[in-house]
Structure 1
Amino acid sequence: MVKSLLIVSAMFLAVVASVTAAPTSKKQLSFNICKKNDPNLDKCLKTSLQSVIPDLGEGYPKLRIPAIEPFELPSLEIDHGKGSSKAVSIDLKLKDVKIMGLTSTKLDSLKLDVDNHKLSGQISFGKPLKITGQYTVNGKVLVLPITGNGPCKIVLHEPVLELKEVSGTPYEKNGKTFVQIKRLDLKLVSVKKLNIKLENLFNGNKQLGDSMNTILNENWPVLLEELQPVFEEAVGAIVQDIVNKALQKTAYSDIFPM
């Protein structure tokens, strides 16, 4: 169910970094540098970043930023017992995961503390986030057993994510100050609706499979409770890794000049 989910903090820091490093993509970013002493720094960054998000689909290999449309993951695991729901208890493993819709990211709010290397904000999406892959599942849904493997699709309608805190630690290299992200606290605030389709449930028994998919979709809020912790943890770890790889290339003072 990642990831989200994106990658927005990666877009924030890594895209700014890419302004000072020549991208390998044929597309050129049109990005306005925001000065550190700008009294409207938050607004400047929000406007500048929003304008370039649609161009991030291809990624920037020079900064080790992967393509985000679609965003690909080799695997994702949802372990039994991590969610808060008592009605759903499943082990769900996904592989060959693809996420579509991330370039529709909307920056609803953005707050930056440059001196203390902190960022917070809220994001939503103009399109549904669609996650596809190959799954295996075992567990129970409303006391009913569920088992199967095959193609799956999960769709999140109007998800809202909160970046509660992205904080970094400065370090010196080659006489310049760089920053490494040490903490990334991301929360899924709301989802209007979740749709799920698991093919080949119960060894291909169509009647049982259709019934279980109906149950899952009718009870999507409790399913979301089970998926949410892993979703947040996975997205946070992925984004933190991408951001840190990008920030190794560019000094903090080059990202936010005076």
Structure 2
Amino acid sequence: MRVLVILAVCAVVSAKIIPDDFPQCKRNDPELDKCILKAVDVVKPRLLNGIPEVNVPALDPFNVPTLKLDRTASNLRLKATIKNMKAFGGSNFKIEKMKLNLNNKYVGEVKLTIPQLEVTAEYDVRGSRILTLDISGKGKFRSNFTGITVVAKGSAKPIVKDGVEYLQAEKMITKLRIGNGQVFIDDTERPVAASSAAAFFNASPSVVLDILNPLIEESSAAIFKAFFNKIFGTIPLNEILVVDA
């Protein structure tokens, strides 16, 4: 998704993985943004299960094997390990706005919406709290989020490996807004406390999401940057951005 998906579409086109009638986007096209948006619509079904040929991961579910969280704020102390996280529903994204600047630099901004995401994972949380609520424990959780808006901004630079240029992300920033959410927790260590924590969240999701939002934004930006570099570290830059002969 995000800037990652948009540039991945260009990579897929150049690698000739999809049919020849797929829309080709040229670097010097004055309507490059429109061309790429059209390309995204065409290739979107292939993003559902991923495109192994160019290291594009599946969007449904989107998998994160391990995620470490460590943050302290006035109303939050969180130290957690999240494993086997899966997000379902990301393939239903809709791009609302896009801007690319390829004039001697590689900068992009994308605004998109996702109607609903279901997230499942295993967690191990130690010495943590939200407000005054102890949230330490270990187990599994499932959460449903609706009305999601994401604005992703990124910059990249070319690097040279064995005489070939590749594109790698320098900076990735995401801003998220989640309309509503519910969580369901199955804790093996402290089931009563976990039930209370889930009830607190479900009664006031906007309060908890506001507290967690900076951490969610930082974590998502780090995940997307890692996947960006994984994909574009194997595809030469001159195959991602097609230049007229």
- 1:209-224 aligned within 5 A: 209-224=194-209
What is the aligned partner in structure 2 of residue 3 from structure 1?
none
Higher relative contact order (CA 8 A, sep 6+): 1
Q: Which residue of 2 aligns with 1:52?
A: 43
> Partner residue of 1:14?
8
Q: Paired residue for 2:58?
A: 67
User: Over aligned residues, Cα RMSD in angstroms?
Assistant: 2.6
Which stretch shows the higher mean deviation, 68-77 or 143-152?
A: 143-152
**Structure 1 unpaired stretches of 5+:** 1-6
- Residue identity in the other structure for 1:184: M
C-alpha deviation, 1:66, in angstroms: 2.0
The aligned counterpart of 1:77 is: 68
Which residue number in structure 1 is paired with residue 243 of structure 2?
Answer: 257
Aligned to 1:39: 30
Q: Distance in 1 between matches of 2:123 and 2:184?
A: 11
The residue identity in structure 1 corresponding to 2:13 is V
Q: Is the 8 A contact 1:46 1:109 kept in 2?
A: no
Preserved CA contact (<8 Å) 1:201 1:209: no
Distance 2:201 2:81 in 1: 17
Q: Secondary structure at the match of 1:246?
A: helix
Which of 186, 203, 211 aligns to 2:190? It is 203
Q: Give the alignment of 1:226-237 within 5 angstroms.
A: 226-237=211-222
Separation (CA, whole Å) in 1 of partners of 2:111 and 2:181? 20
The one-letter amino acid of 2:52's match is P
> What is the CA–CA distance in structure 1 between the aligned matches of 2:229 and 2:71, rounded to whole Å?
30
Corresponding position: 1:159 with 2:148: yes
For 2:164 and 2:138, the matched residues in 1 are separated by: 51
What is the aligned residue count?
241
Structure 2 alignment gaps of length 5 or more: none
TM-score normalised by L of structure 1: 0.81
**Among the aligned pairs, what percent are the same residue?**
27
Cα distance in 2 for partners of 1:28, 1:58 equals 17
Aligned partner letter, 1:73 = V
Output the TM-score relative to the length of structure 2.
Answer: 0.85
Aligned mates of 1:162, 1:58 — CA distance in 2: 24
Q: 1:173 to 1:72 in 2, by over 3 A?
A: closer
